Structure 1
């Protein structure tokens, strides 16, 4: 069994690289790891007038499936609940979307696949 501290550190490193990659694509990072009722928002970013909640999923290989496959309907519901809590806490009303950024490989050598508006919520 892997050490959870190592897994957390690896996850944090992947999220940092993912945020940098998305900033290179033109998004602005507003926050990381926002804990909210029922879930956690990996990255909160701004894309023009749109607030973007980005779920970052990582796998070292796709041997046992692609990271995109892990964002199931229950996971989507948790993300939506967390986003609603975030919006209420921040008192924000604006267009929003949910993106998924799949990362495959070992940091820093990652390949990203970005799915914009991966699922609808609002």
Structure 2
């Protein structure tokens, strides 16, 4: 298995962890790994009446930056563009939406520590 396919499988694993975590908190995941002109959106879900675009970030032990801190201004712009394109393509401009980050880190007691940062990226 080459590095690209291995990292994609690891990314899918962390997205599945995030999806289970969100589901346990009442979020309905409606799409995963959405690719469009703007870029990739890891997860899209509904948190009550709000459509939420989730960026999933994982950082292992010893990483200097947290998952949330690892999102560069360029990545933030891509996420906003991808979310905007999705809203436009699906005629959803009038609904409430936001971009959240699910930061996953290696845990000490449990396998993962998960932090849900709502409205992490402003459009």
Normalising by structure 2, we get a TM-score of 0.89
Q: What does 1:83-94 align with in structure 2 at a 5 Å threshold? A: 83-92=83-92, 93-94=94-95
In structure 1, the partner of 2:17 is: 17
Q: What does 1:59-98 align with in structure 2 at a 5 Å threshold? A: 59-92=59-92, 93-98=94-99
- Give me the CA root mean square deviation: 1.7
Q: Which sections of structure 1, spanning at least 5 residues, go unmatched? A: none
Q: What does 1:79-118 align with in structure 2 at a 5 Å threshold? A: 79-92=79-92, 93-105=94-106, 109-118=111-120
Do the aligned partners of 2:99 and 2:120 also contact (CA within 8 Å) in 1? yes
Aligned residues: 119
- Give, in angstroms, the shift of residue 62 of structure 1: 4.4
Which deviates more from structure 2 when the two are superposed, residues 95-104 or residues 71-80? 71-80
Deviation >6 Å, runs of 4+:
none
Partner SS state of residue 69, structure 2:
helix
In structure 2, the partner of 1:32 is: 32
Q: Which sections of structure 2, spanning at least 5 residues, go unmatched? A: none
Do the aligned partners of 1:51 and 1:97 also contact (CA within 8 Å) in 2? yes
